[in-house]
Every structure is written in structure tokens, then in C-alpha cells.
Structure 1
Amino acid sequence: MSKQTAYITGSCVVRKHQVYRNGALLWQEAPSLELQEFLRKAYDRFSGQYPKFHKMDPLSKLGWLAAEVLLREAPIEDHLPEQVAIVLSNRSASLDTDLRYYNTVKDIPSPALFVYTLPNIVIGEICIRHGFKGEHAFFTMDSFDAEQVVSYAQLLLDSGVATACLCGWVEVMDQQYEVALFLAERQQREGAVAFTAAEVKKLYAQQSGS
């Protein structure tokens, strides 16, 4: 299996109450807002037509929101649902929700929280929203490892399992959060750059202010 060229055709980064798409700042809110309030305002700004959003845990809301922003202008309809893969990663897995669920066990366990006590549920929420049915994987690591994520996504593209892959990082722990999603495709489009770890790192660093 030979490695074939793929391209980053879209990106979305959300951190510090700022939303970026393809490197451009789209929207920002006051840094004093609680995370849940920021997510609600972001939902109203970029979607507002998906009531299930309000039942999600913060991790799923964050990943879902970033995918919503990224895919709004991405020609994802060019791909069969079975050929759109998702590869995500984070540091805390579902610990933020696990702890809140554990607190309910002392009284009455919350089924609404329990269903989100797996980190890959965010992938399921994105797939339900956009109808994706391709391969998916979720990794936990100390920090965003562009090499590993790009390597796994590239493998799916090279093998023909996927023609597009939504990949990146989505982390939530209490009020600390960050999401960086990248859409990789085999097809080159206007403004696209090579899908390499170096380019992913560059986009990630530029939008972190470093």
C-alpha cells in the first residue's frame, strides 16, 4: 500500500471562547463566561436547529460544535457516508462527565449522564448529525500528537477505507477545554495544504497564539 497525497481542506479551532475556521476568527465571547454558557451561545450562533444538542455532555457539545462550523462550508457531500472516517483524541477521555455522573450515584444515578461516560460518544453525535458511517477511532494521550493522528488518518485514506477523514483533538475538563478539527481529503481544493503533521501543527499553533 503506497502513501498517496492528501490535503487539509478545512479546519476549526475553538479555545479561549474564540471560534476559528480555516485560520480566520469567526466569533468570540467574553472570557468570563462559564463553558456551558459559551457553548449555548455558540450553538445559537452557528446552529440553533438541533434540540438534542442541549442533552449532550460538554465534550460532545464541543466536538459537535466544531464539526458544525467546519463542515458548514466543506463539500462533504462529495463523499459517500461509508467513506467518511473520524479520528479524534484527547487527554482526559470522558473524565469530566465521569466525575459528574459519580456525584449523582450518591443520590439517584443519572442515566442522562451515564450514556456519555465514554469519550467516543462525541464521534457518535457527529455521525448522527451528518450521517457519517465510516471507520472511527478515539485515542487518549498526554497532549495533541499530530504525528499519530495524521498517521492513522492517512492509513485509512491510503487503504481506500475512507476518502475523507475528520480528525484532531477535543478536550474538556471542568472549565478547561480545547478542540482542533481538520478535514483531510484525497481531493485537492482551493486553499488546501498538504495533510502532514507539520501543517497540522502549524495550523494548531497559529490559532493558539503561540
Structure 2
Amino acid sequence: MNQPYYIKSSCSIKNSQVSLNGSIVFKNETDSFSEFIKAAYKQQNTNYPKFFKMDNLSKLAFLTADILLKNENLNPEETNDIAMVFSNKASSLDTDRKHQDSIQNKENYYPSPAIFVYTLPNICIGEISIKYKLYSENSFFIFNGFNASHLCSYTKSLISSNKATQVLCGWVEFDDEDNYEAFIYLVAKEGTIKHSEEDILTLYNS
């Protein structure tokens, strides 16, 4: 008999609002992602100075995960056996553009190491891992769209093979200031919402 797995909690950021387990916990109507994410960081009492040095994709992923994990009362001082499986469509395109602009600027040519370090999408996983000491498996996949089937099957494989006791899954997309969204959820052996493709899609689209 296959062991069922469950979605313990979920958090999303899109359309200038933050939702935790289906309830809006912060909303700030603004045209600027930069202004919105700073306001959300402050309102959620996130204490992580390095946040302001991150690129936009990492800020989006980090804050979404931080809100969810704080709600789970996860102790950041202890090593936590949680794997991460993230994905998106644009990879690190927003940061890649900024890096390319710095290379093409003939009058002020100097590629910034602070920008270059974020030209891989999986760097956002590292930022979350550092704060919450998540040293288990982690992967970042690129798909044409949200892939519930992959998240479901890959997560099942990680837990059933004892590579992790829980898995933080998600879709974290940042293309530009007007095109961003994050949907992150935590999977475990116990919970109320079954971790199935149908239920994942229902949460994602809600």
C-alpha cells in the first residue's frame, strides 16, 4: 500500500498580496515589486539583514518560505530535515538582464560580483537553507509552466527513500516588476490536505 503524503501548510505571494493557508495576511497596492516586498518584509517581522542584498527572485522565494516556516514554529537554530524542490519558467532572467547590462555598458564597464552571484535560480534555495539550516536534498527545475505532476512524484520519491522527512515545494517566478508569483507549500506524512496533483493545482490556482 502506498504511503499517503499531505500538504501541511502553504504560502503564496502574487498580485501585491501575501496569503498563508488561504488567508490574506498582507496586502499593499503598489506598482512596484521592490516597494511591496520591502513592506511585506517589515510587516511580517522578518529579521534577516542579508535580505536587502538579494536579487528579486531570492527575495520573493525567501520571504514566502520564511512566512511559512515561521508559522510551522521551525527552530532556525536547529538542523531541519527538510528537502526543497523549487521550479519556475524564467530561471534567473531578471538578474541575467542586469548582469548583461553591466557588461554592455562601455562607459562604466564593471560586471558586479554582487549581481553575478545570483545568475543561477537555485541560489534562492541556498538563502533559505542558510537561515533554517536545511541541509537535505534540494533541486531547482525549469518548466514551461507550473508542473504539479513533477512536484508530486519527486516529493514522494524523496520522503519514501528517507532522504527527507518533509519537503518544501514550490513555484517561484520573477521575470520583471510586473510578472512575479510565488507558491510554496510543505509536505509531510501527516496533515489534512492530500498531496495529489489535483489538490496541488487547487491550492496553486486559489
- Please state which band the TM-score falls in when normalised by the shorter chain: over 0.9
In the aligned structure 2, how far is the partner of 1:98 from the partner of 1:177?
16
Give the Å deviation of 1:76.
Answer: 4.0
Say if 1:92 and 1:171, in contact at 8 Å, map to a contact too: yes
Match of 1:127 among 126, 129, 132: 129
Unaligned runs of 5+ in 1: none
Question: 1:138 deviation in Å?
Answer: 0.5
Deviations, residues 47-102 of structure 1 (Å, cap 9, x unaligned): 3421100000000000000001111111545xx83621000000000111001011
Q: TM-score, normalised by structure 1?
A: 0.91
Mapped to 2, the partners of 1:48 and 1:5 lie a distance apart of: 33
TM-score w.r.t. length of structure 2 = 0.92
Distance in 2 between residues matched to 1:88 and 1:163, nearest whole Å: 17
Structure-2 residue corresponding to 1:96? 94
The 2-side partners of 1:150 and 1:168 are apart by 11
Moved over 6 A (4+): none
Aligned length: 199
2:181 corresponds to 1:178: yes
Give unpaired runs (5+ residues) of structure 2.
none
Farther off after superposition, 7-16 or 32-41: 32-41
Report the aligned-residue RMSD. 1.4
Partner SS for 2:71: coil
Q: Is contact 2:88-2:142 (8 Å) kept?
A: yes
1:158/1:75 Cα in 2 relative to 1: closer, same or farther (>3 Å)? farther
Q: In structure 2, how many angstroms separate the alpha carbons of the residues matched to 1:15 and 1:170? A: 10
Q: Does 1:197 align with 2:197?
A: yes
Q: Is the 8 A contact 1:8 1:183 kept in 2?
A: yes
**3-state DSSP of counterpart to 1:167:** strand
